[in-house]
Amino acid sequence: MSPSWISRPRDIGDKSDVNVNSSPVSRSCLSRKSKRFWMLLCAGILLLIVAIGLAVGLGVGLTEGSGGGGTSPSPPLPSNNNTNATSGDFWRPTAGSSWQIVLQNPPTDTSLNVSVYDIDLFDNNASTISAFHTQNKRVICYFSAGSYEPNRPDSSQFTKPDFGKGLDGWPGELWLDTNSTNVRSIMSARLSLAASKGCDGVDPDNIDGYDNDSGLDLTESTAVDYLTFLAIEAHGYNMSIGLKNAGAIVNATVDFLQWEVNEQCVQYQECDLFRPFVAAGKPVFHIEYPSDAPAVPLSTKNSLCDAPSAQGFSTVIKEMSLNDWVEEC
């Protein structure tokens, strides 16, 4: 019910050099069709989520109070004793690889002539992933590594001390303390799930809480430490792993991560931050969300695809909802 899988837009005011809606709220929740309808729907969802959140919070509180923690199954251990974030023979995509990203639903059209699909870890199964492999495509599995989403199968395993403030514009979704042992063991289990489904790599979202009012003590070095942890585990499963946005820590992570997934760097004029990946021969999987999608005028498409700052990036034009619709550059 919560659109929590949608990659979040950031509010960088009037820096945009293309025509897009500037309000993060309108872009996240109210962007389509009748504004009034969506406003009512969003309000309804918000109320429901607050109610569920309270119920879950209460439940967790009670479990903790009764000395719980023994009830949740312990996550499987990584498949090896990897301690090196860079080594391994996992898949390493090359800069410029073509891709598609669909997070709203399991992809309907799986036959696009691209080499990589980025799809939701929980919403897709091993048969879907193996069907991609039959087509010689690689699969990156998306999950949120830095936020609590109320509607994931393992959501009840997070505990109150893991939570920070809500994510702006994302009702029910909370920043997570990425240094929490509990959070890390839940994420280990997610990586194990990804490996068991056959994902070639993982796309951990929301690792840039240091840049936000998270209510937690998250710094750039917490984020680098967290990504090091995730990379060692992912590589231990023979999966690769990328960075998501987080321009400030590109230099600190480019050596042990296999790609960057960036949103809107042309719009926000910050593509240069991500260029070190391409310079290292690694893809920058780049998304722009023009406001007129899916009816993007050729002139808009060209200005995004041909943006000098994004040359060498793997650019796709998408709707915010990250549904099937895509315009490949």
Ligand X SMILES: *[C@@H]1O[C@H](CO)[C@@H](O)[C@H](O)[C@H]1NC(C)=O
Q: Which residues bind ligand X (CB under 6 A)?
A: 8, 10-11, 24, 80-81, 84, 86-87, 89-91, 106, 113, 125, 127-128, 167-168, 179, 181, 211-212, 217, 222, 238, 248, 251, 273, 276
d(CA 61, CA 14): 43
Amino acid at 94: T
239 vs 300, beta carbon nearer ligand X: 239
d(CA 88, CA 212): 33
Residue 67 C-beta: closest distance to ligand X, Å: 21
For residue 211 the two structure tokens come to: 């840049």
SS3 190: helix
19 vs 127, beta carbon nearer ligand X: 127
Residue 34 C-beta: closest distance to ligand X, Å: 25
Residue 212 C-beta: closest distance to ligand X, Å: 4
38 vs 90, beta carbon nearer ligand X: 90
60 vs 252, beta carbon nearer ligand X: 252
- What kind and span of H or E run contains 38? helix 35-65
Parallel, antiparallel, or unpaired: how do β-strands 170-176 and 147-148 relate?
antiparallel
Residue 302 C-beta: closest distance to ligand X, Å: 19
24 vs 312, beta carbon nearer ligand X: 24
Residue 87 C-beta: closest distance to ligand X, Å: 3
CB 324 within 8 A of CB 102: yes
176 vs 300, beta carbon nearer ligand X: 176
Residue 150 C-beta: closest distance to ligand X, Å: 15
Q: Which of 3, 10, 2 is nearest to 267 (CA)?
A: 10
212 vs 315, beta carbon nearer ligand X: 212
Residue 86 C-beta: closest distance to ligand X, Å: 5
Angle at 80 between CA 78 and CA 81, to 5 degrees: 100
d(CA 58, CA 1): 21
Residue 164 C-beta: closest distance to ligand X, Å: 10
Q: How far apart are the first and last CA of the chain?
A: 32
Helix/strand/coil percentages in the chain, nearest 5: 35, 15, 45
300 vs 326, beta carbon nearer ligand X: 326
b/e sequence 272-311, b meaning 16+ C-beta within 10 Å: ebbbbbbeeebbbbbbbbbbebeebeeebbebbbebeebe
CA 239 vs CA 155, 199, 203, 212, 234: distances in Å: 23, 7, 11, 29, 5
